[in-house]
Homo-oligomer: A and B are copies of this chain.
Amino acid sequence: MGGARLDGTHDPALRSWVPSADGHPDFPIQNLPLGIFSPTGGARRAGIAIGDRILDLRGIAGLLSGEAARFVEAAGETLNGALALGAGPRRALRLRICELLRQGSPERAGIEPHLHEAASCTLHLPAAVGDYTDFYVGIHHATNVGRQFRPDNPLLPNYKWVPIGYHGRASSVVPSGTPVRRPNGQRKPAAETVPSFGPSRNLDYELELGIWIGPGNELGEPVPIGEAADRIAGYCLLNDWSARDIQGWEYQPLGPFLAKNFATTISPWIVTPEALAPFRAPQAPRPDGDPAPLPYLADEADAASGALAIELEALLVTADMKAKGMAPHRLALSDARHMYWTAAQLVAHHASGGCNLRPGDLLGSGTLSGPDRASCGSLLEATNGGREPIALPSGEERRFLQDGDEVILSARCRREGFAPIGFGECRGAILPAPSA
């Protein structure tokens, strides 16, 4: 299982000489996520987040050797080439960077000039996304959405057999902080006889986990389930913005298109399988009566530890709340364990017909809602299709997102005996639609 091994880099007693690292909610020395950044006025380059700083990997290349050096040499303005190398170089880099950044490292003086204040850097997409696929494996979400259409039979017959997914739009995947323009599109409310074109009235977010592909597979060559975890380079947060009114009108028979391709926001740091090793978990037991996975999706080791215990949170702050200095309001608190299929199963399924995955491809999990209203990872669910608005502390209410609203996704991994780590933010604010 890729990255499941525990080693000295997971020691909760480890401390870093970078002052902000110890106790940092997202990026203590036990995390060391990978990204692409540019310092003010500088070019794009590979970096690792440590506390509120970013370490420039090219800058310290002289302190690396062997596999760790190979990773950095393969990274350019994107990480695609480095992700392609797989777990060996990625793990070697983690081990070495941990040595270099820990308390008492003799290299501190040589490294300090290559630490940039994260707040003054621009974070980019960590890789050029060749293809983006969005799955639908949050079973509570699929049930909640299905219930709005089919109250007695919310899940379709294929749901528990097939990891349902569709191809999304790669060009509009943007890093956290990029404003999101409300889309215009065709809307046809049930009460109207013909559609009209204009700004989406039912703009929504979706709380998802993103999965980065490392080594790919050749066209026509499936990835066996036992090798699938090794194809995963890491994870991020993903907001699959969705225009529900456009979606409802356009999606039959070929699925969502313009309703979702206007933007997908991701957190810019790749949290590696190595960093997540302490937070692996058994796959949730399938309810009685659910079919066993078909053999091409069945793997004992994956079932035993292929799930991830990651708390996922979605927050909303409106323009009015910002003006009043109010804290963001929690929309949802959920967990990645609500995936009906593991990330390895998604990879094996995706490649099972021979489709080639490439380094830097991105998969979304689908919305990861929990079983109750407080854990619903979309407004469609939380407001019951817009019928039951959410009350905000500013006195406002929301059925769907308004212009000026900002959605912030975050994550937290906690386990007794390990240092907690996070993912950083996945944030986007809504701009008004262009004139139609």
Interface, chain A (partner B; CB < 8 A): 130-131, 133, 136, 156, 158, 161-162, 164-172, 174, 181, 183-186, 188, 194-197, 200, 219-222, 243, 246, 249-259, 261-263, 291, 294-296, 349-350, 352-358, 361, 431, 434, 436
Complex interface: chain B residues within 8 A of A295 (CB): 197
Complex interface: chain B residues within 8 A of A253 (CB): 156, 164, 251, 255
Chain B residue, CB-CB nearest to A219: B172
Pick the contact of A186 from B252, B263, B294, B350 — CB < 8 Å? B294
Query: Bound state CA distance, A246 and B133, in angstroms?
Result: 18
Interface contact A255-B258, CB-CB below 8 Å: no
Given contacts A161-B186, A162-B186, A164-B254, whether A219 and B353 have CB atoms under 8 Å apart is no
Complex interface: chain B residues within 8 A of A259 (CB): 353
Chain multiplicity (copies): 2
Complex interface: chain B residues within 8 A of A220 (CB): 181, 262, 431, 434
Chain B residue, CB-CB nearest to A291: B194
Complex interface: chain B residues within 8 A of A436 (CB): 296
Pick the contact of A185 from B170, B246, B262, B353 — CB < 8 Å? B353
Interface contact B353-A262, CB-CB below 8 Å: yes
Give the interface centre of A255, A350, A356 by most chain B CB atoms within 10 Å: A255
Q: Looking at the assembled complex, report how far the CB atom of A426 sits from the nearest CB atom of chain B, in whole angstroms.
A: 17
Q: Looking at the assembled complex, report how far the CB atom of A134 sits from the nearest CB atom of chain B, in whole angstroms.
A: 8
Interface contact B158-A249, CB-CB below 8 Å: yes
Q: Looking at the assembled complex, report how far the CB atom of A385 sits from the nearest CB atom of chain B, in whole angstroms.
A: 16
Q: Known contacts A161-B186, A220-B434; can you find 6 more A-B pairs with CB under 8 A?
A: A161-B195, A172-B219, A172-B355, A172-B356, A261-B353, A263-B354
Interface contact A261-B183, CB-CB below 8 Å: no
Interface contact A354-B161, CB-CB below 8 Å: no
Complex interface: chain B residues within 8 A of A174 (CB): 219
Complex interface: chain B residues within 8 A of A133 (CB): 257
Complex interface: chain B residues within 8 A of A184 (CB): 222, 296, 352-354
Chain B residue, CB-CB nearest to A353: B183
